[in-house]
Each structure stands twice: as C-alpha cells, then as structure tokens.
Structure 1
Amino acid sequence: MINPGFFSVIGVGIGAILLYAVLGVILMLLGFYAVDLTTPGKLNVMVREGLPNAVVITAAGMVSMALIVVTAIYTSSGFLTEGLIQTAVFGVIGILAQVGAVRLVEWVMGIDIGAVLAADRVVPQSFLISAAHLALGLVVAFAII
C-alpha cells in the first residue's frame, strides 16, 4: 500500500528537478556567454566551424561551469525557493570568478587566447587553458562548499 502523500512528494520532486534543470541550463548559457564576451571573436561561431582549440577550451569551460552549478545546487538549502535563489547567486558569482581567473592565468602566462582559439590545428596552449578552466572550476566549486 502506498503511503498517503506519496504522490505529492513525487510531484514536488519532479517540480524541483525541472526548476533546477532550467536554472542549470540558464547558468551554463550565462557561463558560456561570459567566456565568449571575455575572448576575442565569436566563440560559438568558432565552435560551429570546428576550430579544435575553441572546441577543446569551450568543452573544458562547460565542464568546469557544470561543476560550479552542481556544487551550488548540492549545497543549497532544503527549501525549494531558497535553494533556487542560493544556486542562482552562487552560480553567477562562481562563474564570474572562474572566468576572471582563467583570463588572469592567460594574461600571466602571456597566452594570446585569440590566436589559440583561431588556430586551425591543436596547439599546446589550449591544454593549459583547458586545465586552468577545470582547475579553477574545482576551486570555485569547493569554495561554495
């Protein structure tokens, strides 16, 4: 026999999943556009054209942003509205911190990100920038905890 209230718990859970999924997509898109705005050229065009460094760096950036968003969701409070607000705030701040930190690493290392992204073959600097995205995404994610 199913306990009374079971279906309301399921309904609330489904609603929470959908709301967090929508918020996650919004934050991921915001993160992508934050990276796009801080790099020369149109990143989405470079990715569509299959420029290998643009694809590798964008993929690393998306994974690192997902780490930030997932951590923000995981650490949010048990109340849905508060959790969504907390996730949005920590997600936005985390994404901005991560993007700014990656740009700083590129500057300190003297990497011309525009040239790296526009190259038609894989260049070693793309691995460093990708690693910086992932590492800084982890740092920001743990800072949220």
Structure 2
Amino acid sequence: MLTDIVRNGYAAAAYGATGMILMLLSFAVIDALTPGNLRHLLWADRNRNAGILVGSNAFAVAIIVAAAIVASEGRLVEGLTYTVVYTIIGVAIMTITFFIIDLFTPGKLGELVVHPESHPAVWVHGVVHIGIALIVAVSIL
C-alpha cells in the first residue's frame, strides 16, 4: 500500500508539473497572439474577454492532459510523452484556429480580447478551444 501511494504520488506530481508547464506555455501563446500584456489585462484590468479566453485555454489543456493520463494506462513515461506531444498539437491547432477565425470574421480577434466590454466572439472562440481539446483528447483514447 505504501509503495502504491509513493508511486501514485510521484506520478501525480509529474503529471501536475507537466500540466502546469503546458498551461504556462499555452498562456504564453495567447499572450503572443493578443495585443498588450495579458497578465495586466487579467489581474489589473480584470478584463472578462481575456479571462474567458485564458480560462477556456487552460481548461482545454487540462482536458488533453487528463486524456493522456487515461491513455497511458499506468505507464508514466508514456503518459508524460503523450501529455507533452498531444498538448503541443492541441495548442498548435488552437493557434491556427485563432488565425482562421480572425481571417474570416470582421475586426481583429486579438483586439476583441483586450477590449474592456464583453464580446460574444470571445465566448465562441473559447468554446472552439474546448472543442479542439475534446477532439485531440478522444484521438488519444
């Protein structure tokens, strides 16, 4: 029993640290895609649009990480590899989708994210992030 707790605790810490790093990476990608300082928009300006996009992106990364854990079937190195590879694929697809949505809709999506008034397009894009994550997650399972 103690051996299982130690092994499972180690795996939880490894997945948690990997997931946290991948969420920070996805935050950096969103920050690069949007004008201004995303941290300032969220914590100082309390910008809802930025919060919706960042929150949906973090949730999307968590979905992919969870699917990778399930797909690894207890094999830690394989699961961590799945986690990194599939999350990078998911973030890349989310980034491409950001550009595609921006291309085919009026205005600039990045500017909508930093605008102080709520905009429904940000909600739509947030749902797209979660949808992409579900697609990537199911492809793992």
- Secondary structure in 2 aligned to 1:41? coil
Structure 1 position 111, deviation (Å): 4.3
> In 2, are the aligned partners of 1:53 and 1:119 still within 8 Å (CA)?
yes
8 A Cα contact 1:106 1:129, kept in partner: no
Write the distance in 1 (CA, Å) between the matches of 2:133 and 2:107.
19
Aligned to 2:101: 105
Q: Percent identity?
A: 28
Gaps of 5+ in 1: 1-5
**1:1-145 alignment to 2 at 5 Å?**
6-48=1-43, 49-145=45-141
Give unpaired runs (5+ residues) of structure 2: none
Question: Which is higher, the Rg of structure 1 or of structure 2?
Answer: 1
Cα distance 1:105–1:140, how it changes in 2: closer, same or farther (>3 A)?
Answer: farther
Please provide the CA RMSD for this pair: 1.8
**Runs of 4 or more consecutive aligned structure 1 residues displaced over 3 Å after TM superposition:** none
CA drift of 1:100 comes to 2.0
Q: How many residues align?
A: 140
Using the size of structure 2 for normalisation, the TM-score is 0.86
Aligned partners of 1:22 and 1:45: how far apart in 2? 24
Q: Compute the displacement of 1:38 (Å).
A: 2.2
